[in-house]
Structure 1
């Protein structure tokens, strides 16, 4: 899993993502996120890397 910033233009991607969610209902926004995750996972294509990414995205355990 890459931990250093790897996006060429992170701000532009974030803006694109926000624009995609504009005017969507909460349900539509959640479906967009789910589809995007699956599309990006397909681009990565490595189950070990994907599992590491999922683990890294989990919230930390409560104290």
Structure 2
């Protein structure tokens, strides 16, 4: 069974953050929310493991 990896595995996190910000640049709030929803679904499909996805959902909701 796979487990959720929460430590940083992105070689250049600042580059990723910049790309993420650029992706949302000049979008309305509605368009930005749509991009986020699509991104979540694409990454969930890539992960594919339901237990890992459920754990990620729990972690993401914690403290909100």
So what's the TM-score if we normalise by structure 2?
A: 0.88
Aligned residue in 2 for 1:2: 5
Matching of residue 42 in structure 1 with residue 45 in structure 2: yes
Higher normalized contact order (CA 8 Å, seq sep 6+, divided by chain length): 2
Moved over 3 A (4+): none
The count of aligned residue pairs is: 61
Matching of residue 60 in structure 1 with residue 63 in structure 2: yes
Q: What displacement does 1:28 show?
A: 0.2
So what's the TM-score if we normalise by structure 1?
A: 0.90
Q: What displacement does 1:60 show?
A: 1.8
Partner Cα distance (1:25, 1:33) in 2:
12
Gaps of at least 5 residues in structure 2 are none
Question: CA offsets per residue over residues 19-62 of structure 1, 9 Å max, x none?
Answer: 0100000000000000000001111110100100010001427x
Partner Cα distance (2:62, 2:34) in 1:
21
